[in-house]
């Protein structure tokens, strides 16, 4: 509520000044960094502020599944670095993963009369059998649910490295960066391309943190639960699938998107995959929430980059590369969603239509990372020729009541 009040004050203050067609372009009077008149910031201030925010949005915001207890610190570090890389290149994947875990956690909470945090803990491999295998399949839950219900929510929270307050502070940090960017826009001070890219990450970080608000953070050791009412784990009766060392990170990402984890079997592993969640029979509402999170947030992410459409660029080539990349990043998720809806409504059983959709998705998966890399590279290369007004800091006194 306070954030939206602040946005209203920004808009009201900007209404008292002369309008400008492009808030991210040069200021009408080309303000310069004269410390006798305007407060100043340095290039280091810009880069440091953006990198700190990106780090908070991609590293600190990640709520990973419970790792293998045998992993050392170095392998745990590599595991999180891989997740951070995925967040930077394709943040929509993490948003979709978080949305799927939230839907699954809420379903478990309702179906088995436990808290949403219990549901998240099931999804992330937090409960293991006495043999040390994750309780991470729908078939297993009835056999272990009595023991899981006896686990207090406070015991799970004690495993977490962050509580609701600390997560709220982290969300406030992202909103503060958004507020700074809005203040610069309303005062007709240009945003650098790096700040625009960081703004996109800040917005997505708020969404991710809200989706994972009740998910424990950085849990290293699972909770052992005992079976009840049955003599053996229901999955012991099935063939045990041995771990497949040839499964790549791309395979795991695609499995996280599709929900199909054929390569994983809890009886042959001591932890769940990085992008794992318990699959359940999703209804139409659940699927809509998940698809809206993936495609909607993806479009917003690209759309924020389009806000720098007329921003000053060092060269025409860089300007057009930025524009083309931003349009693709914004349009691809929206077009994918529209195509999926069209096929589902008008041609659900048409093999040719499905083939077109698969081809469209395949091309997108190949091209998308390159456009994301272009935007990341340009965010830094454009810092070499910033306009003088980019170093003028926000005049916060405009929004503080004074005589």
CB neighbours of residue 62 within 10 Å: 18
What per-residue confidence (pLDDT) applies to 6? 42
What lies within 8 Å, CB to CB, of 146 at 6+ separation is 228, 229
Domain ranges in the chain? Answer: 42-244+252-388
What per-residue confidence (pLDDT) applies to 365? 81
Q: For the chain, how far is it from start to end, CA to CA, in angstroms?
A: 26
What per-residue confidence (pLDDT) applies to 136? 85
Contact 333, 298 (CB under 8 A): yes
Q: What is the mean pLDDT of the chain?
A: 79
Letter string b/e over residues 281-301, b meaning 16 or more CB atoms within 10 A of that residue's CB: ebeeebeebbbebbbbbbbbb
What's the CA gap between 223 and 234, in Å, rounded? 19
What's the CA gap between 369 and 376, in Å, rounded? 10
Per-residue pLDDT reduced to its tens digit, 266-312? 777 788 888 888 877 666 666 777 777 778 888 999 999 999 998 88
All residue ranges of the chain with pLDDT < 70 are 1-38, 162-167, 229-263, 281-286, 398-403
Nearest by Cα to 11 from 207, 216, 185: 185
Nearest by Cα to 92 from 372, 257, 275, 294: 294
What per-residue confidence (pLDDT) applies to 194? 94
Per-residue pLDDT reduced to its tens digit, 161-178? 866 666 677 777 778 888
How far are the Cα atoms of 61, 126, 129, 212, 221 from residue 217, in angstroms, in the given order? 9, 11, 21, 9, 12
**What is the β-pairing status of strands 223-224 and 127-128?**
parallel
């Amino acid at each position: 509520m306070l954030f939206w009040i602040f946005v209203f004050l920004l808009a009201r203050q900007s209404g008292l000044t002369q309008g400008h067609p492009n808030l991210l372009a040069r200021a009408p009077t080309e303000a310069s960094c004269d410390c006798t008149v305007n407060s100043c910031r340095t290039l280091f201030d810009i880069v440091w502020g953006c990198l700190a925010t990106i780090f908070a949005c991609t590293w600190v915001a990640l709520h990973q599944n419970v790792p293998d207890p045998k992993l050392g610190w170095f392998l745990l570090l590599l595991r999180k670095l891989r997740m951070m890389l995925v967040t930077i290149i394709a943040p929509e994947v993490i948003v979709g993963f978080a949305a799927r875990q939230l839907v699954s956690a809420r379903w478990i909470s309702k179906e088995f009369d436990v808290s949403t945090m219990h549901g998240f803990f099931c999804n992330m491999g937090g409960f293991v059998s006495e043999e040390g295998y994750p309780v991470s399949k729908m078939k297993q839950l009835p056999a272990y649910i009595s023991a899981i219900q006896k686990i207090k929510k406070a015991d799970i929270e004690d495993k977490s490295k962050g509580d609701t307050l600390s997560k709220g502070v982290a969300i406030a940090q992202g909103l503060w960066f958004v507020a700074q960017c809005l203040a610069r826009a309303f005062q007709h001070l240009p945003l650098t391309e790096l700040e625009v890219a960081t703004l996109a990450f800040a917005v997505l970080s708020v969404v991710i943190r809200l989706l994972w608000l009740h998910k424990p953070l950085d849990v290293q050791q699972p909770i052992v639960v005992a079976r009840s009412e049955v003599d053996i784990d229901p999955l012991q009766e099935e063939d045990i699938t041995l771990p497949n060392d040839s499964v790549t990170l791309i395979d795991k990402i695609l499995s996280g998107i599709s929900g199909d984890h054929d390569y994983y079997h809890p009886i042959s592993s001591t932890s769940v995959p990085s992008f794992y969640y318990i699959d359940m029979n999703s209804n139409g509402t659940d699927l809509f929430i998940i698809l809206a999170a993936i495609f909607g947030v993806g479009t917003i992410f690209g759309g924020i980059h389009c806000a720098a459409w007329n921003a000053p660029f060092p060269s025409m080539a860089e300007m057009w590369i930025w524009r083309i990349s931003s349009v693709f990043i914004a349009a691809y998720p929206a077009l994918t969603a529209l195509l999926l809806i069209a096929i589902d409504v008008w041609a659900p059983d048409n093999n040719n239509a499905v083939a077109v959709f698969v081809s469209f998705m395949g091309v997108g998966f190949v091209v998308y990372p390159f456009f994301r890399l272009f935007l990341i590279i340009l965010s830094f290369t454009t810092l070499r020729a910033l306009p003088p007004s980019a170093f003028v800091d926000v005049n916060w006194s405009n929004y503080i009541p004074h005589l």
